[in-house]
Amino acid sequence: MGTSLVESFDKGIILAVASSTNTINLQACLVKTDVNGALQWSKNKQVGNYSYPQTVIETRDSGILIFGSANYNPTLNGNDDFLFLLKTDSAGNDLWSKEYRLSANDRPVKLLKAASGGFIMCSIGDYNLGSYSKANIVRLEEDGSIRWSKSLFLPYGIHPWSIVESIDGNICIAGNCVGYSPIFFYDIAVCYLDSSCNEIWSKVFQTYYDDECNVLTTNSAGELFISGRAYSIAREWDVFHLKLDKTGTIQYQKLYDAGTSNGEVMRTGIAYDDGSTLLLGDVGGWDERDIAMMRINSDGSIRWSRRYPFSPNFTNYPYDIIKTSDQAFVYTGDIRPPAYYRDAALIRTTNLGEITCYLDTVSFTAYQDTLTEIIPTLLITNNNSVPIDSLINEPLNLITDKTACQQIFPIPNFTFTEDTICTSQCVSFTDLSLNQPISWYWTFSNADSTFSILQNPENICFPSKGKFNVTLAVTNSDGSASITKEITVGSECPVVPYVIPNVFTPDGDGKNDIFEIENLPVTAKISIFNRWGIQMFSSGTKKRFWTGFDEKGTKASDGVYYYVVNDSGIVYKGTIQLIGAN
C-alpha cells in the first residue's frame, strides 16, 4: 500500500510504500518517480524485522525522511512497536536511523516539517494494549534529537489521527476519544496547543452515535478543517466535515451522504487559503469500495465530486493526497486491480479531479446535522524518552511499476518579469510548461489585455501596483490543463524622478520618432537590448536618445525591447515597444 507522498524539488514524486512477503514481514520502500510518474528508482528499508512507513518528507537539504513504526520481534497482535526515523540522501542511500520508545506500544500518526526548522512528530501511545491510549507529541531537531517530548491524556484516552502546525506556530491534533456519551460512542477530540505544547483550548464534538475523525488540515488563516465519518440511524455512515476558526468556534458543520450500502468516509484532504477544501476517501459496500474525491466550497457546499472505480468487487482505499506545484492532484493508497495483488497506487488527476480512465460520478447530498460541543479536561505531562541509533536492513527490492492507463497531459507553469519603472506596471510572461504543449491561452485579471494566445506574451500592463490573478491553460495531443497564479506587481518599484515612455514609433513622421528620457542627468547611461539579450543601443555624453537602429546601423524591427538606466548606481529596468519601423 502507498502510505504517504510528497512532491520532490525536481517536481517528481517521492512515495512511501508498505510491502510484505508474508503475514508479518512488513517492509518500508522508497519510490522515486519523475513528473509523469515513471519509476526512477526504488529502495526497500527495514528497521528491525518489521517496518511500517507512515510519513515521507523531503528535508531542507534535499534529503528524505521516513517516519514509521518498527519491531524486532513482530507478532500478529502488533504489540511492542516503537517509532523510527530514517534519513536518506536524495538517491535513497541511508544516512542515519533513530528509534524512539515513547510507550509500551507506539503507533505513528504523522511527521511535519516545522516552520522554524526541525520536525514535529505525533504518535499514539500505549496503542492496542487494553489501556486508554494517549497522544505523544515530540519536537525534534534536524538531526533527530529531541527538543521536548509531551504526552496528552483525556479521561478515557485519546486516539490522534492527524496533526498540523498553524501559520503562527501553534500545534493542533485531532482524533477519537470516548467517555462523553452514556454508551461510550466514539467522539471527535481536538486539542489546540502553543509551540511548546501548552494547552490553548480543547474540545470534543459529537453526534448521538459514533463519530470517527481521520482528517485534519489548516490554511494560512489558521482555519481548521476536520473530517471522517459519522453514523446516523437514518442514513448509516456519512462523511462529516467541520470548519473551525483558530479559537475552536464552529464556522459550519455538514454531513454528506452518497447513499452507498456501507456508507462514506474521508481519509485525507487539502485546505485552501480561501476557506475551501478538498477531501479524498472511499464509498461503497463491505467488499467493494471506490475512491471518491469532493471539492468543498468555503461555506460547506459541494463544488464537484468524482468517483474512481479502479476494480469492481474489491476494496480500494486512499491514504494521502498532495496538490502539486502545477495545481494537479496526486494521491496514493491501497488498490486491488483485478489482475494483480494489492498494489500501491499512484494517481495523478487534473485540478478538477479528472483522469483518463476509471472516472465515474458520485452524488453527495449535504445535511445540516448539529454536533454537540463539550469542553474536556486535558492533562499534559513530560515524556522523558531518549532516541537511540537503530540498524537498517535493505531487503531484496521487489518493487516494479505497472501502468494501468496513462495519458501524458501538459503540465502548465510560467514565470514573469516586470518593469522596475512602475508608471504602467507592465509584465512579460515566460511559459515553462512541460510535455510539449501545442497551444496556450492566457487570462489576465484587470490588465489592458485580458487574454493572449501567444506562448510568451509581453508587455501586459496592469492598472496599479497590487496582486492580480493570471491563468495559463495549455493543450497537447493528450489533453488540457491549467494553472492560476497570483502575481504581485510593483512590489519593489523605486521612485523614478523622470518620465520614461513605453512606446515609440520611428516611422519618420516627426512624431514620437525617438526614445528619449526627459531630464535624465548627463551622467546617467541608457542601454537597450532585444529579447535575445543583444545590445541595440548604448548612450554617451552626446548620444542621449535611441532612433530605432542597432549599433551597426540596421533598423530594428517592431517588437518589445528592454532598457536599463543606470543613474549614479541606481538601476531602473523596463520595456519599450517599438511600433511602425520603416
Per the prediction, the chain carries an average pLDDT of 90
Query: What whole-number percentage of the chain has pLDDT above 70?
Result: 96
Highest mean pLDDT among 274-283, 304-313, 427-436: 274-283
pLDDT at 124: 97
Reported as a pLDDT band with limits 50, 70 and 90, residue 561 is confident
Q: What is the Cα–Cα distance from 235 to 287, expressed in whole angstroms?
A: 19
| Residues in a beta bridge with 314 | none
Average of per-residue pLDDT across 417-433? 76
Q: Where are the alpha helices (DSSP H) in 434-547?
A: none
- Name the band, by pLDDT with cuts 50, 70 and 90, for residue 340: low
Confidence of residue 177 (pLDDT cuts 50, 70, 90): very high
Would you state the pLDDT for residue 291?
A: 97
- Sorted by sequence, the CB contacts under 8 Å of residue 257 that are 6+ apart come out as 235, 238, 239, 264, 364, 365, 367
Contact between residue 7 and residue 322 where contact means Cβ atoms under 8 Å apart: yes
Contact indicator for 399, 19 with CB cutoff of 8 Å? yes
d(CA 164, CA 244): 14
Of 232, 239, 247, 109, residue with least CA distance to 174: 109
Q: Identify which of 443, 469, 466, 463 has the alpha carbon closest to the alpha carbon of residue 454.
A: 443
C-alpha cell at 467: 496582486
Three-state SS letters, 363-428: CCEEECCCCEEECCCCEEEECCCCCEECCEECCCCCCCCCCCCCCCCCECCEEEEECCCCCCCEEE
- Amino acid in position 446: N
Query: CA dihedral defined by 98, 102, 108, 111, rounded to 10 degrees?
Result: -60
Higher-confidence residue of 425 and 66: namely 66
Strands 503-504 and 570-578: what pairing?
A: parallel
**Of 146-155, 231-240, 264-273, minimum mean pLDDT range:** 231-240
**Does the pLDDT value for residue 494 go beyond 70?**
no
Rounded alpha-carbon distances, angstroms, from residue 342 to 27, 333, 511: 15, 10, 75
Q: What does DSSP say about strands 13-20 and 2-7: parallel, antiparallel, or unpaired?
A: antiparallel
pLDDT band of 289, cuts 50, 70, 90: very high
- Would the pLDDT of 78 be above 80? no
Going by the DSSP 8-state scheme, the letter that residue 178 receives in this structure is: -
Q: Tens of pLDDT along 27-67?
A: 999 999 998 899 999 999 989 888 999 999 999 999 999 99
Angle 157-159-162 from CA coordinates, rounded to 5°:
145
pLDDT at 149: 97
Model confidence at 422: pLDDT above 70: no
Residue 168 falls in which region: left (phi positive, over 0), alpha (psi -120 to 50) or beta: alpha
DSSP 496: P
Cβ atoms of residues 191 and 179 within 8 Å: no
pLDDT of 141: 96
Lowest-confidence range among 128-142, 198-212, 285-299, 335-349? Answer: 335-349
Nearby residues of 420 by Cβ (< 8 Å), 6 or more positions away: 492, 493, 494, 571, 572, 573, 574
Domains, the chain, in order of start with CATH, read: 1-153 (2.120.10.10), 162-381 (2.115.10), 414-489 (2.60.40.10), 503-578 (2.60.40)
Instruction: Give the Å distances, CA to CA, from 575 to 104, 116, 124, 445, 503.
Output: 67, 40, 59, 21, 9
Interval 499-529: pLDDT, tens: 888 889 988 888 888 898 888 888 889 999 8
